């Protein structure tokens, strides 16, 4: 439809040439009206295709109807521009070709949608002959019928070529999809990537469901440390069952050595993206999301697992059934077991959210995750991390020595004093001065929610996501409009 929205009005230039030069006196204004009607129909189907809830069957039906409608308009114009021998008959070939090129399909599907286009001109002629004696007389002349037959031989040849081309294109796509496989998983689309990993939306052909398939990049597969970290993430996640920790369904390596983790596929957005789009969150929403993160971390810490990279981008808001704003903790890639006796001097994590002890010796415990979650909550409330500096050394110094301003000051509007104080306590330099555990932090956040006097309900969450969807649709339509203007 996007292609058709460009091709269809462009051919008004041909209308002008035929109407003013080849067939003087033709109703050019009428043809302009036809082009406008066709453009409205094409654009309406394009708008419909942007809807998230549109079914494939409905979209195919709308597509077929608008192609048939445009074919009828072309047939009427052809009848007025040359009658039975009009060159405009070949405009029907263009409709068929555009469809076949834009949407490769099995030849039977191409024949199905091309048939109304091919039949539109004879149908228009048959109806018009009932009211136009001159046309009815022309249909009885052998020469004119032969000329129409010659045009239609070319049209049928075009439809045949379009069906063959569509079949070839469709077969190539099928082969490509079959080639993009990893064991029982069929790769559909890449949805994320990091320094060493790629995440793909994949179809689990055994269990018939979508999964998020996290794979090591080929350049990283030979690095034993990277591979060990990847396996550690899979093992850590496989031990956790909290509904607020991303679930792992499977992990292993393919026959050609590609390591992967198959996780639940989560539609939605991470918290960094949500704040970047809409600014600081309402405090009740930030608290509700942080409480869910605490529940995930409580289980992980009880199992002896420290995440070590809690940040807004690793906290994902999704929907489960009718429940909105369900939070999932992602990416245990640099997690470690507290019981692991191997000390590491490497600094790992995201600088803006790393606690001071990780800068000093790389060691981390449950209170380190509390610091990172406090920094994340600071970001949700204010729109900024506690410390910002392009210079890494200055950022380290800030985490180790400076006291952040309360999030309410960065936000520019008051927050409950208890919430300000709790966030700053989480950001204490010494682990012993922080909230002692994720469970204690959850209890403190519940008290802060009570102090607010209101909670973030499922209806609030649903309304927020619906508003976000509307904004995204408006942005897409604005881009389409600006592209058309250019």
Q: What is the CATH number of the domain that holds 280?
A: 1.10.510.10
Q: Is residue 477 part of a domain?
A: no
Q: Is residue 301 part of a domain?
A: yes
* Of 440, 377, 368, 372, nearest in space to 407 by CA: 377
User: Which of 120, 146, 179 represents a domain boundary (last residue)?
Assistant: 179
Looking at residue 370, its pLDDT comes to 96
* Of 81, 104, 98, 97, nearest in space to 21 by CA: 81
Q: Is residue 447 part of a domain?
A: yes
What gap in Å lies between CA 245 and CA 243, rounded to an integer?
A: 6
Q: Is residue 483 part of a domain?
A: no
My answer on whether 190 and 175 are in the same domain is no
Give residue 316's Cα distance to chain centre.
14
My answer on whether 237 and 366 are in the same domain is no
Q: Is residue 481 part of a domain?
A: no
The sign one gets for the Cα dihedral 298, 299, 303, 305 is negative
Burial class of residue 140 (count of CB atoms within 10 Å of its CB; 0-12, 13-18, 19+): exposed
My answer on whether 11 and 39 are in the same domain is yes
Looking at residue 428, its pLDDT comes to 95
Helix pair 56-80, 28-49: axis angle to 10 deg:
170
What gap in Å lies between CA 351 and CA 335, rounded to an integer?
A: 16
My answer on whether 295 and 443 are in the same domain is yes
User: Which of 205, 234, 265 represents a domain boundary (last residue)?
Assistant: 265
Q: Are 214 and 208 in contact (CB under 8 A)?
A: no
- The label of the residue with tokens 């990993």 reads 197
My answer on whether 19 and 167 are in the same domain is yes
- Number of Cβ within 10 Å of residue 389's Cβ equals 14
Listing DSSP states for 397-449 in one string gives: HHHHHPPPPPHHHHHTS---HHHHHHHHHHT-SSGGGS-S-HHHHHHHHHHHH
Give residue 108's Cα distance to chain centre.
31
- The label of the residue with tokens 């001065």 reads 433
Looking at residue 406, its pLDDT comes to 96
Looking at residue 342, its pLDDT comes to 41
- Side-chain-facing half-sphere of 364: CA atoms under 13 Å: 30
* Long-range contacts (CB closer than 8 Å, 24 or more residues apart) made by 281-284: 281/380, 281/381, 282/456, 283/381, 283/415, 283/416, 283/419, 283/448, 283/452, 284/449, 284/452, 284/454, 284/455, 284/456, 284/460
What CATH number is associated with residue 226? 3.30.200.20
Q: Is residue 18 part of a domain?
A: yes
What gap in Å lies between CA 383 and CA 281, rounded to an integer?
A: 8
My answer on whether 175 and 205 are in the same domain is no
Give the structural domain span for 448. Answer: 268-470
Looking at residue 337, its pLDDT comes to 52
Q: Is residue 448 part of a domain?
A: yes
My answer on whether 261 and 287 are in the same domain is no
The sign one gets for the Cα dihedral 229, 235, 239, 244 is positive
Q: Is residue 350 part of a domain?
A: yes
My answer on whether 31 and 128 are in the same domain is yes
My answer on whether 77 and 11 are in the same domain is yes
What gap in Å lies between CA 318 and CA 75, rounded to an integer?
A: 50
My answer on whether 141 and 193 are in the same domain is no
List residues with catalytic annotation. Answer: 309
Looking at residue 336, its pLDDT comes to 57
Cα distances (Å, whole numbers) of residue 97 to 108, 113, 164, 346: 15, 11, 11, 59
My answer on whether 126 and 230 are in the same domain is no
User: Which of 240, 265, 290 represents a domain boundary (last residue)?
Assistant: 265
Burial class of residue 152 (count of CB atoms within 10 Å of its CB; 0-12, 13-18, 19+): middle
How many domains does the structure of the chain reveal?
Answer: 3
The pLDDT tens digits along the chain (486 residues) read: 888 888 888 888 888 887 888 888 788 888 899 999 999 999 999 888 887 677 778 888 888 888 889 889 988 888 887 788 787 788 888 888 777 777 778 888 888 878 888 888 889 888 988 888 888 888 888 888 888 888 888 888 888 888 888 888 888 776 766 667 788 888 888 887 766 778 889 999 888 999 999 888 655 445 677 777 778 778 877 888 999 999 988 888 877 677 888 999 998 999 999 999 999 999 999 999 999 999 999 999 998 889 888 999 999 999 988 899 999 999 875 555 554 434 444 445 678 899 998 877 667 889 999 999 999 999 999 999 999 876 778 888 888 889 999 999 999 999 999 999 999 999 999 999 999 999 999 999 999 999 888 889 999 999 999 998 888 777 776 665 555 555
Pairing of strands 259-264, 305-306: unpaired
My answer on whether 122 and 86 are in the same domain is yes
């Amino acid at each position: 439809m996007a292609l058709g929205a460009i091709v269809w009005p462009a051919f008004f230039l041909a209308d002008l040439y035929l109407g003013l030069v080849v067939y003087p006196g033709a109703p050019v204004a009428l043809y302009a009206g036809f082009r406008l009607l066709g453009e409205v129909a094409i654009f309406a189907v394009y708008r419909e295709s942007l809807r998230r809830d549109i079914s494939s069957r409905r979209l195919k039906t709308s597509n077929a109807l608008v192609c048939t409608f445009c074919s009828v308009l072309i047939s009427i114009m052809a009848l007025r521009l040359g009658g039975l021998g009009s060159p405009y008959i070949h405009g029907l070939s263009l409709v068929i070709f555009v469809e076949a090129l834009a949407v490769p399909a099995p030849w039977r599907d191409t024949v199905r949608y091309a048939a109304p286009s091919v039949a539109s001109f004879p149908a228009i002629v048959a109806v018009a002959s009932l009211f136009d004696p001159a046309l009815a007389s022309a249909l009885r002349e052998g020469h004119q019928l032969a000329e129409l037959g010659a045009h239609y031989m070319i049209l049928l040849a075009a439809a045949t070529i379009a069906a063959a081309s569509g079949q070839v294109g469709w077969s190539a796509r099928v082969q490509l999809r079959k080639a993009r496989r990893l064991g029982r998983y069929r790769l559909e689309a890449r949805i994320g990537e990091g320094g060493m990993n790629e995440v793909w939306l994949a179809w689990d052909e055994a269990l018939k469901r979508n999964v998020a398939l996290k794979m090591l990049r080929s350049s990283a597969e030979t690095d034993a440390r990277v591979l060990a970290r990847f396996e550690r993430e899979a093992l850590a996640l496989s031990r956790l069952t909290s509904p607020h920790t991303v679930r792992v369904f499977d992990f292993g390596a393919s026959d050609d050595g590609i390591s992967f983790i198959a996780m639940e596929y989560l539609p939605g957005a991470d918290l960094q993206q949500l704040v970047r789009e809409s600014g600081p969150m309402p405090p009740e929403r930030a608290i509700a999301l942080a409480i869910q993160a605490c529940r995930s971390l409580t289980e992980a810490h009880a199992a002896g697992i420290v995440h070590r990279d809690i940040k807004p981008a690793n906290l994902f808001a999704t929907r489960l059934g009718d429940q909105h704003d369900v939070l999932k903790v992602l990416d245990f890639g640099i997690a470690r077991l507290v019981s692991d006796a191997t000390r590491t001097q490497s600094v790992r994590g995201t600088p803006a959210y790393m606690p001071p002890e990780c800068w000093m010796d790389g060691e981390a415990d449950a209170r380190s995750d509390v610091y990172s979650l406090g920094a994340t909550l600071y970001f949700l409330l204010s729109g900024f991390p506690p410390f910002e500096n392009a210079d890494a050394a200055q950022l380290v110094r800030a985490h180790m020595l400076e006291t952040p301003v309360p999030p309410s000051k960065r936000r520019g509007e008051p927050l409950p004093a208890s919430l300000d104080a709790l966030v700053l306590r989480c950001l204490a330099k010494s682990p012993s001065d922080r909230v002692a555990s994720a469970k204690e932090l959850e209890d403190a956040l519940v008290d802060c929610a009570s102090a607010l006097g209101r909670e973030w309900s499922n209806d609030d969450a649903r309304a927020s996501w619906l508003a976000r969807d509307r904004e995204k649709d408006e942005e897409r339509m604005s881009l389409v409009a600006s592209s058309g203007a250019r």
